[in-house]
Structure 1
Amino acid sequence: MNSEQFDVKLAKDNRINALYEFYGPLLTAKQAAYVSQYYADDLSLGEISENFAVSRQAVYDNLRRTEQTLEDYETKMHLYAKFQARSQILDQLQREIDVDSTVSSRVIPLIKQLEKIDEE
């Protein structure tokens, strides 16, 4: 795997992990377990197939369908996209405060409230 392929795989893995954080509770127990073991725990298809006593092909097929399900949820609900947009705005606010500290005493508590909402 060359550097470019690695970067593409890493970006995909990060996206699936992020979508899983938002939409994982909507998945079946098996879907959630496969995604968690493959993307979060970095187990191979063979290792997961052994854990569930199914074929590697069954794991592969389930993962592909589950990835599509996660993408479908994001297309409909946009939770991850909205989270990213909020994060960018919070970063911009923080940079503005760093430039003009006179507003910091009023703005920083608001930023902290927004960050706390995203953590819940």
Structure 2
Amino acid sequence: MEDMVMDDKLKEKVELSILFDFYGELLKSHNKHVFEDYILNDLSLSEIAEDQGISRQGVFDIVKRCSRQLKDYEEKLCLVKKFEETKEKVNRIKEISEQMMESKNHNCLEEIIMISDKILKDL
């Protein structure tokens, strides 16, 4: 049970770090710095509070607010989702290309063209 809680916390941190990569520049400078220390630099709330000269609760509130903002940005803009979908399509193109190289079968070109068209259409 404890492992599942740790896995959920780790997944949440990974998700927030990805969202931060995409949308971090949209956060207020001070909030961005606090959030970055907590998520990316893995500092504790107390360490950040001491460094920033604010309360531990203040750091907690900033982290919660930033987390919500980043999730809201993704909900509205879907940049991470689009990136992941494009990445999957490119991986599929790579797989097909490797199969073609091995088998010297060029029938897969239609699928490559179709996937490429989808990627270009989505951009």
RMSD over aligned Cα atoms: 2.0
Residues 19 and 70 in structure 2, CA contact (< 8 A), matched pair in contact too:
yes
Q: Distance in 1 between matches of 2:92 and 2:7?
A: 26
Identity over aligned pairs, percent: 30
User: For residue 18 of structure 2, what is the aligned residue in structure 1?
Assistant: 18
- Structure 1 moving runs of 4+ over 6 Å: none
Please name the residue that 1:38 is paired with. Answer: 38
Distance in 2, Cα, partners of 1:98 & 1:12:
35
Question: Aligned pair 1:85/2:91, yes or no?
Answer: no
Task: Look up the match of 2:59.
Answer: 59
**TM-score (normalizing by structure 1):** 0.81
The alignment partner of 1:100 has SS state of helix
Partner of 2:7: helix, strand, or coil?
helix
Q: Which runs of 5+ in 2 are unaligned?
A: none
> 2:46·2:56 contact (CA, 8 Å) conserved in 1?
yes
Q: Structure 1: any 5+ residue segments left out of the alignment?
A: 115-120
Q: Counterpart of 2:8?
A: 8
Paired residue total? 107
Rg larger in structure = 2
